[in-house]
Structure 1
């Protein structure tokens, strides 16, 4: 009742569900056990960025409704980052500065991945993913690039409803 009085959401909307799907996929143990991505907060962050970006790119292809949902998904992602900082004990006075830095990292990663994802350039994408996601596992960049391009292709065949219900992600290479 208090949530209703304060105007807070009681059920997740489509953007929340999409974000939850991206996070669940990014947490797939095969990224860490099979590909050699380090199971650390920074590596998980990198995989969250990749999966959110894959969904955003697909949604942007679906007209005005998709672009609106893509923006809402991005907003949910940024809000989740803010909440995570607070849960990690970052004080209110420091959150804005840390969020600015995280936002720069998100935009930087998305800018680095977008050309390879849109153009299907596996070499360029492998370099960017290798530097950011798994710098200590040299083969992981190539495997991640192949996975990301397969994910982009798989998402291309799915409409908004299918994405919201649960994207059909490709297998994570082992």
Structure 2
């Protein structure tokens, strides 16, 4: 109890730190070349953000299945995302005054993806629309690229679903 209090006072949260491997796995999955080559997601700062937010959304949707048990983990994982995006913005030279506004927009984008992909993964849901809008940023996206992205995202989500929550929280999912 005292250790937790001291850790929080000096900015350390052991439960949040335990999720760093999972966040790193999300970022690693978002960096796979297939998304950018065959899937035609633009290999830009925005495109990489789009992939990280999408993969993170799939992980958060998977954690929703665990109910209250995973609420704290989802919140901490989202905090890691915010910290990462804040750091990325600062590295790009975005000043303190507007970082919050940018992070707010990024959180809105994450929330939009959560809703879109939650609906798209539901029975008979539409994934093609959210893929075109959120990853290819075009309603007239290349159907072959959409198909590659749909297949990859559905495969990833299937792997997430097959992974016991404890393994997932440790940053591993089954392939």
Range with greater deviation from structure 2 (51-60 or 20-29): 51-60
Alpha-carbon shift at residue 128 of structure 1 (Å) = 1.1
Give runs of ≥4 in structure 1 deviating > 3 Å: 8-12
Task: Return 5+ residue gaps in structure 2 as ranges.
Answer: 1-6
Q: Distance in 1 between matches of 2:48 and 2:124?
A: 23
Task: Provide the residue aligned with 1:145 in structure 2.
Answer: 150
Q: Deviations over 1:1-33 (max 9, x none)?
A: xxx7x7244987232221110000000112112
Change (3 A) 1:114 1:10: closer
Q: Do the aligned residues in 2 keep the contact of 1:15 with 1:72 (CA within 8 Å)?
A: yes
Alpha-carbon shift at residue 162 of structure 1 (Å) = 1.7
Q: TM-score, normalised by structure 1?
A: 0.82
Q: Distance in 2 between matches of 1:19 and 1:120?
A: 29
After superposition, residues 1-174 of structure 1 pair within 5 angstroms as 7-9=10-12, 13-119=17-123, 121=125, 124-135=126-137, 138=142, 139-163=144-168, 164-169=170-175
Task: Provide the residue aligned with 1:172 in structure 2.
Answer: none
Q: Distance in 1 between matches of 2:84 and 2:103?
A: 11
